[in-house]
Chain A
Amino acid sequence: AQSVSQHNHHVILSEAASLELGCNYSYGGTVNLFWYVQYPGQHLQLLLKYFSGDPLVKGIKGFEAEFIKSKFSFNLRKPSVQWSDTAEYFCAVNANDYKLSFGAGTTVTVRA
Chain B
Amino acid sequence: GAVVSQHPSRVICKSGTSVKIECRSLDFQATTMFWYRQFPKQSLMLMATSNEGSKATYEQGVEKDKFLINHASLTLSTLTVTSAHPEDSSFYICSAREVSGAADTQYFGPGTRLTVL
Contact = CB atoms under 8 A, between A and B. Distances in A.
Interface of A: 32, 34, 36, 42-46, 49, 51-52, 90, 94, 98-100, 102-105, 107
B107 interface: yes
B82 to A, nearest CB: 24
Nearest to A43: B110
**B contact face: mostly helix, strand, loop, or mixed:** strand
Given A44-B93, A51-B102, A90-B43, A98 B32 contact: yes
Interface residues of B, number: 22
B54 interface: no
B93 A43 contact: yes
A46 B107 CA distance: 7
B72 to A, nearest CB: 21
A8 B105 CA distance: 25
13 contacts: A36-B108, A43-B111, A44-B95, A44-B108, A45-B108, A46-B1, A46-B105, A46-B107, A90-B44, A99-B34, A102-B43, A104-B42, A105-B42
